[in-house]
Amino acid sequence: MTPLDTNIRYIKGVGEARAKSLSKLGIETLRDLVMDFPRAYEDRRQLKSISQLIFGEKACVSATVASPAQTSRVRRGLDITKVNVVDDRSKMTITFFNQEYVKNALVPGKEYIFFGQVGGRIGSPTMTNPIFEPAESVSHSTRCIYPIYRLTAGISQNMMNKLARQGLDECGDQLPERLPENIRAAYSLAQTRFAYENIHFPKSFEDLELARRRLIFEELFVFSCAMEMLKGKRTEKSGFSINIPDLSEFRSVLPFSLTRAQDRAIADVMNDMSREKPMSRLIQGDVGSGKTMVAAAACWAVFKAGRQSAFMVPTEILANQHFEAIKKLLEPLGAKVALLTGSLGAKARRETLQAIRDGDVDIVVGTHALISDDVEFDDLALIVADEQHRFGVQQRAALSDKGTSPHVLVMSATPIPRTLALIVYGDLDVSIIDELPPGRQKVDTYLVGENMRQRIYNFIRRLVSEGRQAFIVCPAVEETEESPDGLKSVKEYAQRLSKDIFPDLQVALVHGKMKPKDKSEVMENFAAGKVDVLVATTVIEVGVDVPNAALMVVENADRFGLSQLHQLRGRVGRGKFKSYCVLFEGAGGNVSRERLAVLCKTNDGFKIAEEDLRLRGPGDFFGSRQSGLPDMRISSFASDMDVLVKAQEAAKKVMSEDPDLEDEINSPLRDSVQRLIEKNRGTLN
């Protein structure tokens, strides 16, 4: 038996060169090898006779070599080897390209199993480059469910197959049983050894399913245990409680009444903050669901308790907007609100920092500038991170460190399917705002091709003549190294719009490379109605609130994720005006057209997120690893959610009985949990 941590190059049949190739697949050790699960399977079990073969299908056929194979050289670098095979009734011709060695491998009179795609005509089938093995040998690549692995240069499917077999034989018996016996029994899960054997070399699809179910469960279970462990650590930290204030005062300054969902979220927050341990809560809600009000209520409660809040947002535009809104709302109640962004002048900055330090400011709204070293708080009790997917965990932590375990409230406008939230934010408490303020109109969404461009321009003109405003968003190409011309093309496009297409309208451009001050100026002009058409890169994606904007046009919509487009669409339809979203489909083709069509069908951010997740996977979904999603080997966030719920339930049970997994029987589990936490240090909260 070979230890699991043995470097792969010492495994029989590997060696230096192959070890190098394998490392490209992330396979460094024997453990990695046996944990490199097939990505697909091919059913090669059914053995047919030649006469049963159907054109176009892939099939196994048993046949005897009728005569010696003949090779002819067609030209340099291309030779063809032909061989006739027969069974008791029919004949078939097999052709191999550039595989002269088969001449010796196929012995006339001997029976072989061939697997390949059937070609030829009815009555005279053929195969080209089939896989074959002697009929009397053990089945490896024919007559079985054949595992298909990920490959890289220098590693063939057959080789991976052999290596997997070899790996299992070397270490199969020492694969640790990480699932406690009672959990395995309670959830009817297969044993480790069985699972590994059958995930690689299943005898039947039923066995494969049993193996998969167990391995998915195990993976999600270990993950959930890690989350529980981290959560346990968090609750140990000392926090401080604030008294839940009478909310009627807060309500009295609102120009509207809160939705029930907002009420619920606010109650959750108040409850958390009234306890001894620090709050760690996520507010999830679709665009426009009114998350800011929940944060404002939290800041207000902290102000009532005589302490400070910091409200961090990802862009200056948003910082300005939130600052104005919160100031307007809470200053009449006596709270001092300050703005801290990178574009503050030196003097203003100094004064603001001083006021924050002295405790003269109750609520600071700002960008990343909030976490710079010279920002000190007098008594920071709450941090709010809006649009949290834009921040890394470290950034949030850096802000947290400015207080002593302050309460933390994060807000996400990228709705995550409820089930997924469990895993992404496994150690956060979650409130969901699943209701929009009354009177919101559905934004009519259209997917159009280039041929509609003129009509869309006419439509923009018509809306503007009615007093509305429009956004035209271009993909944020300027951010990428590969296309330094991206920004240029956006600039040129904006210029063309303003000179040639809408010479009589006010067209302005805002993009990520502009100075913050210039950006704010353009946004203010737009908000004030001085700009009719705002050409923008995705800097406007988050949060911007201009109720008079009634049209969102997105160029090359195929370059965006669905959730991102949904965010963009959320920039319109915020006032009383009927609003529209037009997506130019770009060059993405049918697949992306189908994807984009989801947006035309629904305005429900959760549904869209789910679809996005299904179609693009979680990596793209979040845009970066920042979200704290660890790599999963076998589980799919999109489709294994029912298992996740069970795995979490099981993890809670195990962890409540043995919070640090100190019990001897839990030691394989503890190892895995620790390995996972170690590997994801800095990304898991």
Given Mg ion, ligand ADP, none, residue 293, with its beta carbon under 5 to 8 Å by kind, binds ligand ADP
Nearer to ligand ADP, 47 or 247 (CB): 247
Strands 363-366 and 444-448: unpaired
Supply φ then ψ for residue 522, to 5 degrees. -60, -45
Alpha-carbon distances of 456 from 461, 465, 551, 597, rounded to whole Å: 9, 14, 10, 18
Q: Which two tokens stand for residue 95?
A: 């052709």
CA distance 360 to 678: 41
CA distance 386 to 567: 14
Least Cβ distance, residue 439 to ligand ADP (angstroms): 7
Least Cβ distance, residue 287 to Mg ion (angstroms): 7
Q: Tell me: does residue 147 bind Mg ion (CB under 5 A).
A: no
CA distance 471 to 571: 9
Nearer to ligand ADP, 141 or 284 (CB): 284
Least Cβ distance, residue 627 to ligand ADP (angstroms): 19
Least Cβ distance, residue 267 to ligand ADP (angstroms): 15
Least Cβ distance, residue 413 to Mg ion (angstroms): 5
Nearer to ligand ADP, 259 or 341 (CB): 259
CA distance 288 to 268: 20
Burial label for 593, CB within 10 Å (0-12, 13-18, 19+), is middle
Given Mg ion, ligand ADP, none, residue 605, with its beta carbon under 5 to 8 Å by kind, binds none
Given ligand ADP, Mg ion, none, residue 414, with its beta carbon under 5 to 8 Å by kind, binds none
Looking at the DSSP bridge assignments, the partners of residue 338 are 364
Least Cβ distance, residue 412 to Mg ion (angstroms): 9
Alpha-carbon distances of 631 from 40, 223, 435, 636, rounded to whole Å: 19, 10, 32, 10
Given Mg ion, ligand ADP, none, residue 475, with its beta carbon under 5 to 8 Å by kind, binds none
Nearer to Mg ion, 388 or 627 (CB): 388
Least Cβ distance, residue 444 to ligand ADP (angstroms): 19
Nearer to ligand ADP, 161 or 315 (CB): 315
Least Cβ distance, residue 394 to Mg ion (angstroms): 22
Q: Tell me: does residue 586 bind Mg ion (CB under 5 A).
A: no
Given ligand ADP, Mg ion, none, residue 566, with its beta carbon under 5 to 8 Å by kind, binds none
Given ligand ADP, Mg ion, none, residue 437, with its beta carbon under 5 to 8 Å by kind, binds ligand ADP
CA distance 351 to 361: 11
Pair 381, 403: CB distance under 8 Å: yes
CA distance 6 to 180: 26
With contacts defined by CB under 5 A, name the span among 78-86, 130-138, 536-544, 597-605 that binds Mg ion: 536-544
Please give the residue whose beta carbon sits closest to Mg ion in the complex.
Answer: 543
What kind and span of H or E run contains 18?
helix 15-24
Supply φ then ψ for residue 94, to 5 degrees. -115, 135
Residues that bind ligand ADP (CB under 6 A): 256, 258-259, 262, 285, 287-293, 413, 437, 543, 545, 574
Least Cβ distance, residue 293 to ligand ADP (angstroms): 5
Nearer to Mg ion, 403 or 543 (CB): 543
Alpha-carbon distances of 385 from 285, 319, 379, 414, rounded to whole Å: 14, 11, 18, 14
Given ligand ADP, Mg ion, none, residue 279, with its beta carbon under 5 to 8 Å by kind, binds none
What kind and span of H or E run contains 80?
strand 78-86
Nearer to Mg ion, 415 or 543 (CB): 543
Least Cβ distance, residue 525 to Mg ion (angstroms): 22
Least Cβ distance, residue 219 to ligand ADP (angstroms): 33
CB neighbours of residue 306 within 10 Å? 11
The site map against Mg ion for 291-310 (x = CB under 5 A) is --------------------
Pair 409, 383: CB distance under 8 Å: yes
Given Mg ion, ligand ADP, none, residue 55, with its beta carbon under 5 to 8 Å by kind, binds none
CA distance 409 to 387: 11
DSSP state, 152? B
Q: Tell me: does residue 406 bind Mg ion (CB under 5 A).
A: no
Least Cβ distance, residue 535 to ligand ADP (angstroms): 23
Pair 200, 220: CB distance under 8 Å: no
CA distance 46 to 142: 9
CA distance 294 to 299: 9
CA angle 346, 347, 348 (to 5 degrees): 95
Given ligand ADP, Mg ion, none, residue 125, with its beta carbon under 5 to 8 Å by kind, binds none
Given ligand ADP, Mg ion, none, residue 33, with its beta carbon under 5 to 8 Å by kind, binds none
For residue 116, what are the contacts with CB-CB under 8 A and spacing of at least 6? 58, 59, 94, 127, 128, 129, 130, 131
Nearer to Mg ion, 166 or 341 (CB): 341
Nearer to ligand ADP, 293 or 613 (CB): 293
Which position among 543, 570, 573, 618 is part of the footprint of Mg ion (CB under 5 A)?
543
Least Cβ distance, residue 647 to ligand ADP (angstroms): 31
Least Cβ distance, residue 255 to ligand ADP (angstroms): 8
Nearer to Mg ion, 284 or 400 (CB): 284
Nearer to ligand ADP, 172 or 437 (CB): 437
Alpha helix segments (H runs only) across 528-640? 562-569, 589-601, 605-622
CA distance 395 to 397: 5
Q: Which two tokens stand for residue 362?
A: 């109750």
CA distance 339 to 558: 37
Given Mg ion, ligand ADP, none, residue 524, with its beta carbon under 5 to 8 Å by kind, binds none
CA distance 304 to 326: 15
With contacts defined by CB under 5 A, name the span among 166-174, 266-274, 440-448, 540-548 that binds Mg ion: 540-548
Nearer to Mg ion, 315 or 498 (CB): 315
Please give the residue whose beta carbon sits closest to ligand ADP in the complex.
Answer: 290
Nearer to ligand ADP, 511 or 571 (CB): 571
Total residues binding Mg ion (CB under 5 A): 1
Pair 660, 434: CB distance under 8 Å: no
Chain residues binding Mg ion by CB under 5 A are: 543
